[in-house]
Chains A and B, each alone.
Chain A
Amino acid sequence: MRLPKFEYLGPKTVQEACSLLAQHGDKAKVMAGGTDVLNVMKERKIRPEYLIGLRAISDLSYIKADADGIKIGALTTLTDLANSAVVKEKFPCLAEVPMKMATVQIRNMGTIGGNLCNAAPSADTAPILICLGAKAKIAGPKGERVVALEDFFTGPGKTVLGKGELLVEIQVPNQPAKTAGAYLKMSRVSVDLAIVGVGVVVTREGDSCKDIKITLGAVAPTPIRAKKAEAVVKGKKIDDALLEEAGKIASQEAKPIDDVRGSAFYRTEIVKVYTKRAIKQAMEQAK
């Protein structure tokens, strides 16, 4: 399988990248690690005239902690995210996610920005980031803007990025005390895309769940919050019956489809089970 023909553009700054994007519009495609984009191009699903490679933009790969939380450059590789001491310390549930994704080689190449902008419903980094209230910093011809990651996805392969815009940074805010999360992924084998991904972040108070966010992956056109399930749990003392109920409600919020990886039936069942388990695991972690 060989790549179709294209012209390669290698901007050195974000500015330059945005203006190239604005200039070439639909004829151009942005590439970060390349692990998704080059594959769909090999399959001839897209045939951009210009491929804008971001590799030369050196200042987009970083993880910085500040008073508000951490900021992750969009070109940070999944390996770097997994190995980051500051992420491990502040958001262990986020640091664990990359190790559930793909393979060593792909994690060495693939970036957090690429995973999000590819906007697969099964994107593994999205659920936990959404639960953590992460924001996406977007650069564009008119300057920068920040959107909640929850609002970033608009459909399979689609995001809010407009013409000439580029995702440059993920911002993860500090969490209240006794907050922890869990991401559970159902896949066919160890190395696989998610059939279902469930991200949960809870803030614990005694045996109760003071606050909770639940995000479901691979069961709707975009990652979705299970807000009704959250409402069932929020402020309550956690017991098995409540967890069962939360799982059931979450599974009703999911809108899965049948595809080559799994059926809607199975996905619904797994949302039920994994929501329950993820809440339980997150509550344990939040002690």
Chain B
Amino acid sequence: MTQAQQVDRKLSPAAGFWLRNREVLKKEFSVIGTRVPRIESKNKVTGEARYAADMKFPGMLYGKILRSPYAHAKIISIDTSKAEKLPGVKAVVTGKDTIGARYGLWRLREETMDEQGLALDKVRYVGDEVAAVAAIDEDTAIEALDLIDVKYDVLPALLTPEDAVKDGAPEIHEGIKNNISVNRRIEVGNVDTAWDKCDFVMSDTFKTQVVQHVPMENLASVSIFDSTGKLTVYTSTQSAYFVQCLLAMALGMKEGDIRIIRTFTGGGFGCKLELMGDAFCSALLSKVTGKPVRIAYTRRETFVNSRQKTSMKMDVKVGVKKDGKIHAVEFSTTLDGGAHHSYNVTTTMITGILGTLPYRIPNYRYNGRHVYTNLPVTGAMRGHGAMQPVFALDHMIDLIAKQIGVDPAAMRIMNATQPGDVKIPNICHVSSCGLQEAIAGSAERMNWREKYGKLPDGHGLGIGSYGFFCGALYNYFNTKRPYAECWVRVNQDGTVHIFTLMAEIGQGCDTVISMIVAEVLGVGLDAVTIKSDDTGIVTGDTGAFSSRTTMMAGNAAKAAAEDARRQLFIAAGAKLGLKVQDAFDIKDGNIFIVRTGESMTIAEAAMAHQNANKGAPVLGRGIFTPSSHLQEGTVVSPTWSFGSQVLEVKVDKETGQVSVLNSATAHDCGIALNPLAVEGQLEGSIHMALGYALTEICKFDDKGYMINANFQDYKILSALDMPPVDSIVIDTDDIHGPFGGKEAGEGLTIPTAPAIANAIYDAVGVSIKSLPITPEKILRALKEKEGK
């Protein structure tokens, strides 16, 4: 199916106006825009795919990590002697066996690096890594943990930001006063003078909860130090590059002496982005024992000891004109960071950007502060830095719309960000944007005009909108700009090998990168093999996060394929008698001269190239960094995705239970390169986001211990809980994206929580300002409303 057919299939005739860029759709692609099942489907559906915990090596030992039972304590002593004597135990390591180095993602900002592989003198949350054991089997390792004797001096645990910022509160990290480690501020226009010019001003406080990413595959690594002192780590990760660099820091090694091989990775969503205990402790234990060591996290460890989503308390003030035009927003948020920074140095900033992305806000002030607490570490998660502020602001819009008597969907269209907008000078510049079309489209699909405010009591419609990065550009690692690298080799038999380091973690990037290369080289997907798992081959990609795969790795792959194509053309030209005025085309595995129709196969051209170049194969190289068109060091994303979602709910007023009856989502992801994958991202996003809105929360007791680190009490929606999901693809043909594609992975998680809150507000007239929106909160609010 061509792109044009594909898009037309998705649209009702009345919806044609959404397409601002129809000429794009006239382009004929052979691979791009077709519905392609992921290329590794068979490996996965037969069970042959090997994930990290499936890896086994001769002589392999099994590692386990001893974790702190206290939220905050000094380590007085650790006695490992009994554990070491247990038969089968091969090594026990503690902080003393490390070089004590601090590491963190902001390598250029040393003061933010606050993690150590094993605690040296202090533990900062329940579950902090204290010691690790390697033994001949997992049972022995578990038994050995019980034999390690740790003496603690227990300190007061600071379990809320409110407690942590109090004067006199103990410092969780030495020298961080009041435990406030990051402050970020954004100012646009003049907020102070803006309020007077508003016809209506509303203030409120919103709260979001801690949730976990819950990839189905738990974290796991196998580390192998060989006798030359070089290290290979097989690991489940979103970023082999970050693991490589952070391990080098933590172990005091050269990055080039560490090779990371990403195994099949069973989801990540942000919690497999950094160096965690599985990789660090297995590497250290392998160094000590000289054997391969595998550490596989339990579900509890994935919950508590990878990362969690940052909870926020947000004070929001919004001023509007009487027609509903937003005039000023003041937004202050406190991030509960848990025990370490992780990604939150970034989160503290981007919350202020992403909150303002969907709507035009002429006067805007943002204050974000990051507070350490003695809870598990929070950081990046799908919808990073956006789900929290958009919940607050997008629900607030409905509260205001009600007060001033404006239709909430109309108010959104009126205020929606548009192509070319400068949201925040030098920070957030919009290129393509289909948000107005998305709002109109999703509303129309759900019969907004007929239904909104007119449904029977207990039934309601709600809308939410969003925008998101397509590859954030913070230069927190080594280069001024992040970049992506790709190599494409065309073999003598016409097969094509792609080398990249962009991580396939389930989102489908191996497939979409292969599609891009196949499109450029005019070959079928069956001719393409992709290798994306090994830092020993291509090093230039920071991995799968920030919705950067299509934009960054996709562009790099396109450039590499074009480089390879150029080499093929040169080789073919020599053979086919190319004239100056001639143009080539490449299609169906053949290269031909357009004027004459003279052709040869790609395989023949590849061989001709090799014969003419001392045997060197056709090897295209592509690098992409967005700096050419963007101001260096400031702008945070080359472009942005946008979208809107409408949900219909039914609320049982006696129990507070919410049923989601229907949904429609319009997503502007540029050109949908693989519509099947875009739909999959959308459907999955709604699932995760509904959990965020309604059921998911990490709960802690008064000692900081997570009491629901299991699926019995951390409630993820099952197939029975899902509403119908309808998707509308808004094509905008972005100038920066490969073949006009933008992100489709994270933005889609953002609108659901506000849409739910808004639909409940429409259904029963109560506004719930904290997530998750449980039946109990609704019931209490209903009772309070009746009491009034």
Contact = CB atoms under 8 A, between A and B. Distances in A.
Indicate if A touches B (C-beta under 8 A). yes
A189 to B, nearest CB: 5
Contact of A265 (B655, B713, B776): B776
Contacts of A5: 139
A16 B1 CA distance: 68
Contact of A193 (B299, B712, B717): B712
A5 B140 CA distance: 11
A273 B655 contact: yes
Interface string A182-195: 00001011111100
A261 interface: yes
A270 B779 CA distance: 10
B721 interface: yes
B655 A186 contact: yes
B712 A273 contact: no
Contact of A266 (B299, B720, B776): B776
B391 to A, nearest CB: 20
B779 A269 contact: yes
Interface string A4-44: 01000000000000000000000000000000000000000
A31 B142 CA distance: 24
Nearest to B777: A266
Nearest to B783: A269
Contacts of B716: 189
A108 interface: no
A266 B780 CA distance: 9
Contacts of B695: 188-189
A246 B765 CA distance: 29
B315 interface: no
Contact of A2 (B142, B655, B718, B779): B142
A58 interface: no
Contacts of B708: 260
Given A189-B715, A189-B718, A191-B718, A263 B655 contact: no
Given A1-B298, A2-B139, A192-B715, A262 B721 contact: no
A262 B717 contact: no
Contacts of B699: 260
Contact of B779 (A188, A192, A266): A266
A266 B138 contact: no
A266 B779 CA distance: 8
A190 B718 contact: yes
Nearest to A187: B715
A189 B707 contact: no
Interface in B293-310: 298-300
B713 A261 contact: yes
B contacts with A: majority SS: loop
Contact of A260 (B139, B298, B713, B717): B713
B138 A2 contact: yes
A5 B137 CA distance: 14
Interface in A191-219: 191-193
A263 B776 contact: yes
A263 B780 CA distance: 12
Contacts of A1: 298-300
Interface string B647-659: 0000000111100
Given A260-B707, A260-B713, A266 B775 contact: yes
Interface in B691-734: 695, 699, 707-708, 712-713, 715-718, 720-721
Nearest to B772: A188
A54 B139 CA distance: 26
B147 to A, nearest CB: 15
Given A189-B718, A190-B720, A262 B776 contact: yes
Contacts of A273: 654-655
Nearest to B776: A266
A269 B717 CA distance: 24
Contacts of A192: 715
Interface string B476-515: 0000000000000000000000000000000000000000
A191 B721 CA distance: 9
A188 B699 CA distance: 15
Interface of A: 1-2, 5, 186, 188-193, 260-263, 265-266, 269-270, 273
Instruction: List 8 A-B pairs, minimum CB-CB distance, nearest first.
Output: A190-B720, A266-B776, A273-B654, A189-B715, A188-B715, A191-B718, A260-B713, A189-B721
Given A189-B717, A190-B721, 5 more contacts: A1-B299, A186-B657, A191-B718, A192-B715, A260-B708
5 contacts: A189-B717, A192-B715, A260-B708, A265-B776, A273-B655
